[in-house]
């Protein structure tokens, strides 16, 4: 085959170099036609759109074309011409085709369209080849890029916090342990507790649930930082919004109070949504038309208004009134309860009809490091609640008083030996500071309109599932 430099389909579809010879490589989506002419819809992943290859059957031979079926990979040399067909500006009149790999129609699973999302999860190794997952993963990349750009442009530093940790940030027992010990032969002391002296780190270690505590170390030196990395939670919650392995973005800013924190969160999410609308419209349009007719409207809706800001106590009042007026929730509503997603969504979707930032939660349902309010009951927490998702961001102003923080740590019985380095931020040059965590896949749920978080990460890890 004549050597012609490859052009990506995304660029060819914009090209006006009619009459020039081009090369394109990709995977066959469909091939149809007649005895005289064959039409190949080719996709190379660079865009949701296919390029049409027009083949003179007589010239290349019917037998040669036979293995060019859905899923086969080919390289095509041909002439770029203006297309007479609808839906595309250009097409390629093939002069030469090389077949890289065939895909047996009897065994290649992505034959016809309309597979269920459940089935596609079982073939997560092949699902990026579908239009839907191509769109989702291109959007995922774009959102990651937008996040780095947002923070970099504002003078934040990307800070790498450890993935293996010996401290449990939230004080919760839902971490994955990391060990090199022989699980069949573990040394225990006289009380039956495992002796970790011989383990790799010489103590119990786990995968991180959050980079926040180390992020605070960085914020109280570099000023404003963000983390963007994988986090792990062994919570056994089989919901459409929870993964065992997910990516989190955690900005942390010295001298920011809770109001600055709310402003940052709102500006940040709006920036990401605007970026998606500006840079991923082909993919979003596809998802809007195929899955979720309200998607584009919902994305634009979030940009339009300011997010509602209201205290947890006011939120509970609204929910209690709703219950009094006949609204039925699965879980009870009372002051002190940890809100369920149905409560959060009621506030956002039914009551205010826009995103809500809920603040000043009861201290019992929030983490030890949140700044305590004067009332002695609540802390300066903020959760950003979104339509269809519920909580998308959780954050707070941090307790900067050494004494108050220490008292809280002792009240909760968090082992001091794990916390000494964290407390040093309050011992030496403590400052007011704030931050939050955005679940990357929750943002992607919102931007793609997908209903299940397993469908916005390439290889989801959930209870009883770590395939691929």
Is residue 395 part of the contact set for Mn ion (CB under 5 A)? no
Q: From the list Mn ion, ligand ATP, none, which binds 441 (C-beta under 5 to 8 Å, kind-based)?
A: ligand ATP
Task: Please name which of 422, 141, 148, 176 lies closest in space to residue 283, comparing C-alpha atoms.
Answer: 141
Based on CB atoms, which residue is closest to ligand ATP, 48 or 456?
456
Is residue 251 part of the contact set for ligand ATP (CB under 6 A)? no
Helix (H) or strand (E) holding 253: strand 245-254
Number of residues that bind Mn ion (CB under 5 A): 1
Q: Candidates 16-24, 221-229, 387-395, 425-433 — which segment interacts with ligand ATP by CB under 6 A?
A: 387-395
Is residue 437 part of the contact set for ligand ATP (CB under 6 A)? yes
Is residue 127 part of the contact set for ligand ATP (CB under 6 A)? no
What is the spatial distance between Cα 407 and Cα 401, in angstroms, rounded to a whole number?
10
Residue 300: CB minimum distance to ligand ATP, A: 22
The pair of three-digit structure tokens given for residue 143, joined into one six-digit string: 């959102």
* Strands 90-101 vs 157-158: parallel, antiparallel or unpaired: unpaired
Dihedral sign of CA atoms 260, 263, 267, 273 in order: positive
Q: How many residues does the chain have?
A: 468
Q: Which residue is nearest to Mn ion (CB)?
A: 394
CA angle 72, 78, 79 (to 5 degrees): 140
Q: Candidates 64-72, 394-402, 404-412, 440-448 — which segment interacts with Mn ion by CB under 5 A?
A: 394-402
What is the spatial distance between Cα 206 and Cα 168, in angstroms, rounded to a whole number?
8
Question: What part of residues 180-239 is at the interface with ligand ATP (CB under 6 A)?
Answer: 233
Q: Which of 41, 103, 272, 392 binds ligand ATP (CB under 6 A)?
A: 392
Q: Which of 442, 447, 448, 454 binds ligand ATP (CB under 6 A)?
A: 442
What is the spatial distance between Cα 112 and Cα 204, in angstroms, rounded to a whole number?
50
DSSP 352: I
Q: What 3-state class would DSSP assign to 324?
A: helix
- Give the strands of the sheet with 164-165, arranged side by side: 164-165, 205-207, 177-178
The gap from C-alpha 167 to its chain's centroid, in whole angstroms, comes to: 25
Q: From the list ligand ATP, Mn ion, none, which binds 120 (C-beta under 5 to 8 Å, kind-based)?
A: none
Residue 137: CB minimum distance to ligand ATP, A: 17
Based on CB atoms, which residue is closest to ligand ATP, 78 or 395?
395
- 158 - beta bridge partners? 226
Is residue 159 part of the contact set for ligand ATP (CB under 6 A)? no
Whether residue 227 contacts residue 248, with contact meaning beta carbons closer than 8 Å, is answered with yes
Is residue 439 part of the contact set for ligand ATP (CB under 6 A)? yes
* Strands 356-362 vs 308-311: parallel, antiparallel or unpaired: parallel
What is the spatial distance between Cα 54 and Cα 73, in angstroms, rounded to a whole number?
16
Q: From the list ligand ATP, Mn ion, none, which binds 442 (C-beta under 5 to 8 Å, kind-based)?
A: ligand ATP
Based on CB atoms, which residue is closest to ligand ATP, 17 or 466?
466
Q: Candidates 139-147, 241-249, 263-271, 396-404 — which segment interacts with ligand ATP by CB under 6 A?
A: 241-249
Is residue 394 part of the contact set for Mn ion (CB under 5 A)? yes
DSSP 306: P
Q: Candidates 64-72, 140-148, 175-183, 390-398 — which segment interacts with ligand ATP by CB under 6 A?
A: 390-398
Q: Which of 441, 446, 448, 454 binds ligand ATP (CB under 6 A)?
A: 441
What is the spatial distance between Cα 127 and Cα 167, in angstroms, rounded to a whole number?
37
Based on CB atoms, which residue is closest to ligand ATP, 366 or 426?
366
Whether residue 359 contacts residue 382, with contact meaning beta carbons closer than 8 Å, is answered with yes
Is residue 391 part of the contact set for ligand ATP (CB under 6 A)? yes
Q: Which of 248, 273, 284, 456 binds ligand ATP (CB under 6 A)?
A: 248
Residue 213: CB minimum distance to Mn ion, A: 15
Based on CB atoms, which residue is closest to ligand ATP, 433 or 442?
442
Task: Please name which of 260, 266, 268, 227 lies closest in space to residue 371, comparing C-alpha atoms.
Answer: 260
Residue 394: CB minimum distance to ligand ATP, A: 3
* Strands 245-254 vs 164-165: parallel, antiparallel or unpaired: unpaired
Which residues contact ligand ATP by CB under 6 A? 233, 242-243, 246, 248, 391-394, 437-439, 441-442
Which residues contact Mn ion by CB under 5 A? 394
């Amino acid at each position: 085959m004549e050597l012609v430099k490859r052009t990506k389909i995304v660029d060819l579809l914009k090209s006006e170099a009619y009459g020039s010879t081009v090369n394109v490589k990709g995977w066959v989506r469909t091939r149809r036609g007649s005895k005289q002419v064959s039409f190949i819809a080719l996709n190379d992943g660079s865009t949701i759109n296919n390029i049409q290859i027009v083949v003179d059957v007589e010239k290349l031979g019917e037998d040669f074309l036979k293995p060019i079926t859905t899923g086969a990979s080919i390289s095509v040399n041909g002439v770029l011409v203006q297309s007479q067909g609808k839906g595309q500006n250009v097409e390629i009149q093939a002069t030469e085709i090389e077949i890289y790999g065939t895909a047996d129609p009897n065994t290649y699973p992505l034959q016809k369209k309309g597979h269920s999302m459940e089935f596609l999860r079982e073939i997560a190794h092949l699902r990026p080849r579908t239009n839907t997952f191509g769109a989702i993963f291109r959007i995922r990349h774009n959102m990651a890029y937008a996040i780095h750009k947002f923070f970099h442009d504002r003078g934040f530093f990307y800070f790498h916090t450890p993935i293996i940790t010996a401290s449990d940030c939230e004080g919760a027992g839902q971490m994955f342990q990391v060990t090199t010990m022989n699980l069949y032969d573990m040394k225990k002391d006289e009380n039956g507790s495992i002796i970790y002296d011989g383990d790799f780190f010489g103590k119990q270690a786990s995968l991180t649930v959050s980079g926040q505590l180390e992020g605070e170390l960085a914020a109280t030196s570099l000023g404003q930082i963000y983390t963007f990395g994988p986090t792990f939670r062994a919570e056994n919650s089989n919901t459409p919004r929870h993964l065992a392995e997910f990516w989190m973005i955690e900005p942390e800013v010295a001298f920011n109070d809770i109001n600055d924190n709310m402003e940052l969160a709102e500006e940040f999410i709006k920036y990401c949504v605007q970026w998606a609308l500006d840079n991923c419209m082909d993919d979003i349009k596809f998802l809007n038309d195929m899955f979720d007719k309200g998607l584009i409207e919902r994305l634009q809706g979030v940009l339009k208004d300011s997010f509602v800001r209201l205290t947890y106590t006011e939120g509970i009042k609204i929910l209690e009134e709703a219950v009094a007026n006949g609204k039925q929730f699965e879980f009870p509503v009372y002051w002190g309860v940890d809100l369920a997603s149905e409560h959060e969504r009621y506030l956002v979707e039914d009551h205010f009809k826009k995103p809500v930032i809920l603040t000043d939660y009861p201290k019992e349902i929030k983490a030890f490091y949140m700044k305590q309010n004067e009332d002695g009951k609540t802390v300066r927490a903020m959760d950003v609640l979104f339509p269809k998702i519920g909580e998308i961001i959780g954050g707070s102003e941090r307790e900067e008083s050494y004494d108050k923080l220490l008292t809280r740590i002792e009240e909760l019985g968090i082992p001091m030996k794990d916390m000494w380095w964290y407390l040093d931020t309050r011992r030496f040059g403590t400052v007011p500071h704030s931050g939050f965590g955005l679940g990357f896949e929750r943002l992607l749920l919102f931007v793609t309109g997908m209903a299940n978080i397993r469908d916005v990460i390439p290889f989801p890890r959930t209870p009883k599932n770590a395939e691929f």
